[in-house]
Structures are given as C-alpha cells and as structure tokens.
Homo-oligomer: A and B are copies of this chain.
Amino acid sequence: MGKHFKEAFKKISEEKQTRILDAATAEFAAKGFPGANINRIAQKAGISIGAMYNYFGSKDDLILTIVDRAHALLEGVINEVAQAEDDIFDSIEKLLRAAQSYSKQYPELTQIYLDMTSEGLSHLSRQLSGQMETISSRLYRVLIEKAAATGQVASGVDIRVASFCLDNLIMMLQYSYASDYFKERMKIFIGPEAARDDERIIQEMMRFIRGAFRGGQ
C-alpha cells in the first residue's frame, strides 16, 4: 500500500488529520471526484490551501489516502473473520453483518468506493492495483476450500466463481445502504418495511448463500 500523503501530514495531530480527512470524505462523497473542490475542503477543515498542498500533492493523493484508510478498516474486519475458527456459514454471516454495519456507519466511504469503480476514475483505481479484491478473494477461497474438504460445501462447486458470486452479494449489500439510488432499489426489491429489517435481510441472504454452497441437492 503506497502512501499518498506528504511527510508534513504525518507530523500534525491525529485530531487534525481526522478533521481534514473527514472534510474531504464528505466532499468527495457528495460531489463525486470531479466535482469535489480542494479549496472548499481546506476551508471546512479550517486550514489554509497552502497547508493542504503541504500535506497532499494533489486531489488524487487526497482521495487515495481516504481509500487507504477505508481499506485498512475493511482489512481489519476480514482478518478477524479469517482468524476465527468458525464454520464457513458463520464466517460468511459475519462478513455480511460487517458489510451491512460498515456501510450504515460509513455511507460516505462506501459512496467513494462506488465512485472508484467507475470508468471515469480508472486513472485512480489503477493505482490501487486490486489490493482489497486480492485480500478478500484470498479469504473466501481459503474458507470455501476448507469447507469443501469437510463436505460442508457441495463437491461440484467452482471455488473461484463461488467466491466471486459471494463477494458480488456482499458488495451489493454494501452499496444498498450507501447511495439514494441503491437504497431506493433495495426498497423496490424487498419492500419498504423489509428493507428496514437488517436482521431479516441477513437471515434471508444467508438462506440463499447456504443453498448456493450446498449445491441444491
């Protein structure tokens, strides 16, 4: 993980670092990367534009620093799940719950992640070299291989495509709490009351996923 901030940023207090990154997160999430204004971010964070450029060389570096922070958070969750000696379905349930609560707690970070996947920001996402995806795909593969060895997962299941499908479900669950479009979409699909019932969504998604891994026979 390359660092995208300058030395001067490391030297200021953690409180000030957080204030700057929080202001930037709010701006990027609301306006999108091209619409975000670095002067406005500095103003909201209560620092001068000169200080801002002392900490970050560019708008690119600022958003990449935010993405790095978000990745570190998610990596923590994934490592916790990987280290627990759980049944595969308990592990998957923990991941679903983490995706749901992370996205509800940090909708702006999820919005930024969603933006990073767009073609317009591919000059930025190229610099991430798939770190997050590599970490999560590896975790899923290990989980599924272990479970396949003990017969918890049907023998015909293609481990790599199954982990892809699993991550697709987890990502879309995250998105579903992050943008107006996806929130509205979830309501259309599962109904407005059910969409508010976090626990039910987890339980019914787990039923779907359990069936998928057990192979339908």
Q: State the A residues within 8 Å of B (CB).
A: 29-35, 111, 114-122, 125-126, 130, 133-134, 137, 154, 156-158, 160-165, 167-169, 171-173, 175, 178-182, 184-186, 188-191, 194, 200-201, 204-205, 207-217
Contacts and interface: CB of A to CB of B under 8 A. Distances in A.
A214 B209 CA distance: 11
A217 B215 CA distance: 8
A209 B212 CA distance: 6
Contacts of A160: 189-191, 194
B158 A165 contact: no
Contacts of A207: 156-158, 161, 215
A168 B172 CA distance: 6
Copies of this chain, tallied across the complex: 2
A189 B167 contact: yes
A114 B111 contact: no
Most buried by B among A30, A121, A154: A121
A160 B189 CA distance: 6
Contacts of A186: 164
A121 B29 CA distance: 11
A41 to B, nearest CB: 15
A180 B130 CA distance: 11
A191 B161 CA distance: 9
A205 to B, nearest CB: 6
A147 to B, nearest CB: 13
A130 to B, nearest CB: 5
Given A117-B179, A122-B181, A125-B180, 19 more contacts: A32-B119, A34-B35, A118-B179, A118-B181, A130-B184, A130-B188, A133-B189, A154-B211, A158-B204, A160-B191, A160-B194, A164-B186, A164-B189, A207-B215, A208-B212, A211-B211, A211-B212, A211-B215, A213-B216
